[in-house]
Amino acid sequence: MFGYDAARWHAVLNDLPAALLLVAVLFDVAAALTKRESLMWAGIWTLWAGVIGGWAAVVAGKLASSTIEHGEAIHEIMEKHEHMALLTMSLFTVVLAWRLIRRFQMPAQELAFTRMLSIVGLLGLVWTGVLGGRLVFQHAAGIPSHVLQAELQNREEGHEHQSGEEHEGGAAADTVKATHTHPPGTPPHSH
């Protein structure tokens, strides 16, 4: 759809819900500290949006897991990533449902317990992201083998910067041998 496969849709869909869930927890903690009802409502609405978006990311991730090329290392991490995502989203869904069912009329201890569950959910969200990062940045999950091979060949060829042009780290290109590369398919250009 729109030229995107499941892996790319997962990448598109996973950042916003993670941010919304983080902000929902922050709003909730701020509401507890300041006793401001407006912060409580902001937390509920961002929790709603985060839960809906989070489940969309989970579905896209599940679809992506069966379509990307992968070996045993990726498969192992992908399973852990999927389990953490399901646990995390289930936890946030329970918190949201609990608050809606109780219509926000909870005793202080019960409210504190749901806040604690949200913080645990936030830790699960971070760990889910760490595992997703490992998939992409350490194992190139979602990158087709032919594209990865072309990129490796392109990197081996290297790239030289023009005289006076800065290289990463601030050193001029004429003082450092640069190995800057461009992705396959980048049109010819000069720096």
Count Cβ neighbours within 10 Å for each residue of 110-138 and write b for 16 or more, e otherwise.
ebeebbeebeebbebbebbbebbebbeee
Q: Do the beta carbons of residue 13 and residue 19 sit within 8 Å? A: no
pLDDT band at 130 (very low <50, low <70, confident <90, very high): very high
Domain ranges of the chain: 6-143, 144-186
DSSP state of 66: T
> What's the confidence (pLDDT) of residue 176?
46
Q: Based on DSSP, count helices (H) and strands (E) in the chain, helices before strands.
A: 5, 0
Pick from 104, 136, 121, 133: nearest CA to 31: 104
Count Cβ neighbours within 10 Å for each residue of 38-55 and write b for 16 or more, e otherwise.
ebbebbbebbebbbebbb
Q: Look at 169 and 100; give whichever has higher pLDDT.
A: 100
Residue-wise pLDDT tens digits, 55-95: 999 999 998 888 887 778 888 988 999 999 999 999 999 99
Separation of alpha carbons 76 and 70, rounded Å: 10
Per the listing, tokens 């985060």 go with 50
pLDDT band at 117 (very low <50, low <70, confident <90, very high): very high
Separation of alpha carbons 114 and 157, rounded Å: 55
Single pTM value for the model: 0.75
> What's the confidence (pLDDT) of residue 172?
53
> What's the confidence (pLDDT) of residue 189?
65
Residue-wise pLDDT tens digits, 1-47: 565 777 778 888 899 999 999 999 999 999 999 999 899 899 999 99
> What's the confidence (pLDDT) of residue 52?
97
Residue-wise pLDDT tens digits, 165-186: 766 665 555 444 455 666 666 6
pLDDT band at 154 (very low <50, low <70, confident <90, very high): confident
Rank 94-108, 113-127, 163-177 by mean pLDDT and report only the highest.
113-127
Q: CA 154, 157, 159: angle at the middle one, nearest 5?
A: 95
